[in-house]
Each structure stands twice: as C-alpha cells, then as structure tokens.
Amino acid sequence: MVLHTGEVSEPSDIDRIGDTSPRLLDAVDVARDALIDDGQHPGPHRRSVAEGDWAAAHYFDADLAGYRGWQWCVVLAGAPGTDEITVSELVLLPGDGALLAPAWLPWADRISTGDLAAGDLLAAEPDDPRLVPNQIDTGDEFRFSSDEPDPDEVGQVDGEIGLGRRRLLSRDGRDDAAQRWYDGDFGPASEMARAAQFSCCSCGFYIPLSGALHAAFGACANEYAADGRVVSAEYGCGAHSDVPPPKGGEGSPAYDAYDDGALEIVAAAQSLPTG
Ligand code: SF4
C-alpha cells in the first residue's frame, strides 16, 4: 500500500502502485466536494492512497458523534485517454485508535460453563462431536457376569447401552469429560487431594461410575465432602471413611485433645520488700 499525504508530499515523492495518475492522488478537493455534496462535514485531509492503476482513496477525519477516530474514505477513479475523475465510493472507515465494537464471536463460541440458568435452552448442534446417534458403537463394553443374566438387571443394562435415547455420548465426548474431571477441582492435582492421606478409590463413600469410566471416576456420597460430585478415583479428602478417629473419640482427628487437667504447679513468687 502506498501512502501520500496530499498537503505535505509532492506527487513526485509517491511510491505508486502501477501507473496511478498523480491527478487522482492530488484530487483532494474533488474528494472533499463529494463528501460535502453528500451532506457530510469532512475534517482535515489525512492521506491519499493509490489503490491500483486507475484509482486512489482519500481519507478525511470524520467529525461525527459516536465515531471517534473514524475517517471518511472517498475513492476516485480515472480512465486512460481522459482527464475525467469519477467518484466511485464514499465510505466511513475506522482509523487508528477508532472506537470499535468488540470482534464478533458467534454465540456458540461465547457461551461458557456456568452460563446456563433455569429455563434457558441450550441445544446441542446436530453434528456435536460429543454425541453420536444411537445404535453406533461408542467403544463401551458392557459384559454380563454370566450367560443367563438376572432379568432384573436387564432394564439397568438397557439404560447403560443407551436404548431409548436418540443420541449417546461419543468417545470424544467421554474422553473430554474425563480429562476435564481429572484436571478439575475433584482431580488428583487439586489442593484438597494433595493434602489428603487416602484416595477416593478406597473410600466407603465412593460409588464407581459404570461403563468405560468405571475404573477412573465415581460419585462421592459423603455429605461433608464432595457429596454428589464426580470425583477421580485418585482424588481424596480428609473425610475418607478410613480416617482414624481422634484420640479420646471426640474433636478433630488433626489435633490431640487439650488436657486441661494436666497443670504445671509453679511456686508462688516471694513478695518483694516494700519501702
Ligand atoms: S469422602 Fe472424600 S475420599 Fe471419600 S469419596 Fe468423598 S471425596 Fe473421596
């Protein structure tokens, strides 16, 4: 792109694109008049830009309320064999430091965790990679413990393999969820887990998930801990079912009970002579 400030530079200083006519680059008044004829009030001329062999754009400050830093751009065109100049376009464009709206982000990319409120609808896209149509093998394995399953278990297994649901979690959806949970507040790297003596996998309050995530995740059923949350088998907390009771049976297991019956007897200080 070539820059030419009409009032400052001479046409001979212009590093032109192609054969742009100096007439077009110097035709500041033609561009300004075009704006005035359009009912605008252009400010100072800022620059002229060669836009090709037979076109030049002129930029003026736009003194418009709400458009700080914007500029009027007037595109002038010429043609071989004629001195005539045609006004091709008038347009308002943002200049350096112009006040602009934030870049457009599609709604689907804007929404984030925690945005969903009661009554909101959030439909998964038809091609949502987290889901697959039912009847497609997701890689999960559900095995019966014998060739003659207990009829009471059939309904539960039906639900696990997705019968009655039009879409099921895909392998990608499952892997993403597993990674999120592992890296999250109830994963092994959390502060709580790092300070814990025991892991969830050995806790009596731990209910393992079924299916492919069985070995790695479960739900905590301790109302004083991560109650109702999916926790990693490697997570842990101080409410683990194997935490030993405190000495004496009461108080916090983290501290010994204070025995206020053990008093140190200290001899009374002699009174100092007075006077
Ligand atoms: S009580 Fe603590 S250790 Fe036990 S399952 Fe819940 S979070 Fe895990």
CB-count burial class (<10 Å; 0-12, 13-18, 19+) for 72 = buried
- For residue 240, how many other CB atoms are within 10 A of its CB? 19
- The structure's pTM equals 0.55
The minimum-distance atom of ligand 1 relative to the CA of 221 is 6
Local confidence band at 53 (pLDDT 50, 70, 90 cut-offs) = confident
C-beta of 236 in contact with ligand 1 (< 6 A): yes
Which whole number is the average pLDDT over 209-234? 97
- Taking alpha carbons only, the member of 126, 219, 139 closest to residue 174 is 139
Instruction: Answer whether residue 275 shows pLDDT above 50.
Output: no
**What is the residue with the minimal CA distance to atom 4 of ligand 1?**
240
Bigger pLDDT: 160 or 117? 117
Residues 15-38: pLDDT tens digits? Answer: 344 456 788 999 999 999 999 999
173 lines ligand 1 (CB under 6 A): no
Of 185, 191, 200, which is best to mutate to test ligand 1, by the most ligand atoms within 8 angstroms of its C-beta?
200
Residue 2's alpha-carbon distances to 60, 79, 88, 189, 198, in angstroms, are 17, 20, 19, 56, 69
- pLDDT at residue number 5: 36
**pLDDT score, position 97:** 87
Percent of the chain with pLDDT over 90: 54
pLDDT band for position 250 (cuts 50, 70, 90): low
| DSSP-assigned letters across all residues of the chain | -EEE-TTTS-GGG---STT--HHHHH-HHHHHHHHHHTT--EEEEEEEEEEETTEEEEEEEE--TT-TTEEEEEEEE--TT----EEEEEEEEE-TT---PPPP--HHHH--TT---TT---PPPTT-TTEEETTS--S-----SSSS--HHHHHHHHHHTTTT-SEEE-HHHHHHHHHHHHHSTTSTTSHHHHH-SS-GGG-TTEEEPSGGGTTTEEEE--TTTTBTSEEETT---TT-TTPPPPGGG-S-TTSPPP-TT-----PPPPPPP--
Q: Is 56 in the pocket of ligand 1 (CB under 6 A)?
A: no
Picking from 63-77, 80-94, 152-166, which range would have the lowest pLDDT averaged per residue? 152-166
> pLDDT tens for residues 119-130?
999 889 899 999
Mean confidence (pLDDT) of the chain: 82
Ligand 1 pocket test, candidate residues 207, 229, 237, most atoms within 8 A of CB: 237
Between 164 and 93, the higher pLDDT residue: 93
The two tokens of residue 81 are: 């064999």
Pick 249 or 80 by higher pLDDT: 80
- For residue 67, pLDDT beyond 60: yes
pLDDT band at 258 (very low <50, low <70, confident <90, very high): low
Confidence of residue 158 (pLDDT cuts 50, 70, 90): low
> Confidence class of residue 165 from pLDDT cuts 50, 70 and 90?
confident
Mean pLDDT along residues 97-109: 87
Band the pLDDT of 52: cuts 50, 70, 90. Answer: confident
